[in-house]
């Protein structure tokens, strides 16, 4: 399997979230984190969830990844109900989660190696994805030698190297400065365009949400619910200058209003 067939062989699935409930604790101390969330992400879609911190948007990703257990409802990926974590759902975390004891190349190789892929094939994949995130020269560096943006690029390459059906991204650029964040957004859109994975991306940055998404789901907090679904019709490829267009600003204002109402409700 060479780089070309890799790039032209998309494998992506839909995500079904049906009446999902997540409750922490028991009795009087119980906290309702997610209250009957339902939505559907179609294959190849770039779907972004935006919401205030603590609204349960990250928890929702952890549930889809199978890293946490839901209290109720149904989650399926590619028609298969989620019961535990698996390599079909790749994830990029907000915290830096590269394995510090492995080099960049070994980090990217980790997933395929666990799946028992032969070494020669793994090498091709590592080369392809490091090229894709522009870090081929850093293959033999350790994560501690990389900047924050580079670490997250490797994390994206590592998640994609496993050829997952969906890519879950939990505020992956949250800790980066705004310049790095912009270049990461561009890079992610380019990679998504090549791989055509289903992406479910969580952020609290409204600009980021509109720039990236086919569809934005606005979430309210405590308990977490989907407040509104907004289709983002801007043509692709998108330029970062989009943020200055009136349509963009109108959409941003709408989302801001939705999140503001949420804040007012709380007081």
Partner 1 sequence: MTLAPNATSPISHIVTTNVDKNQPGRSAWKAVTTPFRAVSRPLSISLSVLVWVAVIGGWFALTYSGAVKEMFLPRPESVLITTINMALDGSLWEHVLASVQVVLIGFVISSVVAVPLGLTMGTYRIVQAALDPLVNFIRYLPVTSFVPLFILWIGIGIEQRVAVIIFGIFFQQLVMIADSARGVQRDLVNAAYTLGTKRGDTVFHIVFPATLPNVLDVLRVTMGWAWTYLVVAELVAARSGLGYISLKAMRGFQVDVIFMAIALIGILGLCTDQLFRGIRRLVAPWAN
- Note the residues at the interface with partner 1 (CB under 8 A): 62, 65-67, 85-87, 89-91, 93, 95, 97, 99-102, 110-111, 114-115, 134-135, 142-148, 150, 155, 158-159, 162, 168
CA distance 7 to 33: 38
Please report how close the Cβ of residue 233 comes to partner 1 at its closest, in angstroms: 32
Nearest distance from C-beta of residue 236 to partner 1, angstroms: 24
Closest Cα to residue 1, out of 134, 139, 126?
126
Separation CA 26–CA 30 (nearest Å): 5
Beta-bridged to residue 34, according to DSSP, are 22, 224
For partner 1, the closer of residues 46 and 62 by Cβ is 62
For partner 1, the closer of residues 168 and 232 by Cβ is 168
For 63, the token pair is 């549930």
Is the CB of 53 or the CB of 145 nearer to partner 1?
A: 145
**Closer CB to partner 1, 111 or 221, in the complex:** 111
Nearer to partner 1, 125 or 135 (CB): 135
CB of 92 to partner 1, least distance (A): 9
Q: Which structure tokens are listed for 234? A: 């801007």
- Closest distance to partner 1 from the beta carbon of 162 (Å): 6
Least Å distance between CB 136 and partner 1? 11
What number of other Cβ atoms are within 10 A of residue 91's Cβ? 22
């Amino acid at each position: 399997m060479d780089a070309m067939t890799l790039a032209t062989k998309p494998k992506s699935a839909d995500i079904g979230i049906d009446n999902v409930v997540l409750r922490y604790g028991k009795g009087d101390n119980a906290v309702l984190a997610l209250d009957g969330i339902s939505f559907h992400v179609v294959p190849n879609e770039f779907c972004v969830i935006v919401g205030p911190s603590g609204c349960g948007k990250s928890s929702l990703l952890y549930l889809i990844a199978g890293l946490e257990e839901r209290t109720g409802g149904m989650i399926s990926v590619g028609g298969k109900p989620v019961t535990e974590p698996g390599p079909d759902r790749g994830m990029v975390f907000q915290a830096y989660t590269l394995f510090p004891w492995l080099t960049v190349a070994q980090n990217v190789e980790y997933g395929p190696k666990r799946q028992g892929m032969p070494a020669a094939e793994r090498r091709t994949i590592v080369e392809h994805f490091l090229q894709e995130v522009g870090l081929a020269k850093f293959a033999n560096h350790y994560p501690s030698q990389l900047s924050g943006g580079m670490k997250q690029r490797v994390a994206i390459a590592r998640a994609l190297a496993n050829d997952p059906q969906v890519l879950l991204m939990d505020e992956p650029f949250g800790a980066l400065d705004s310049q790095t964040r912009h270049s990461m957004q561009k890079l992610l859109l380019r990679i998504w365009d090549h791989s055509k994975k289903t992406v479910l991306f969580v952020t609290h940055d409204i600009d980021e949400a509109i720039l990236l998404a086919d569809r934005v789901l606005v979430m309210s907090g405590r308990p977490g619910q989907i407040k509104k679904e907004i289709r983002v019709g801007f043509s692709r490829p998108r330029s970062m200058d989009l943020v200055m267009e009136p349509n963009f600003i109108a959409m941003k204002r709408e989302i801001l209003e939705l999140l503001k109402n949420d804040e007012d409700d709380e007081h």
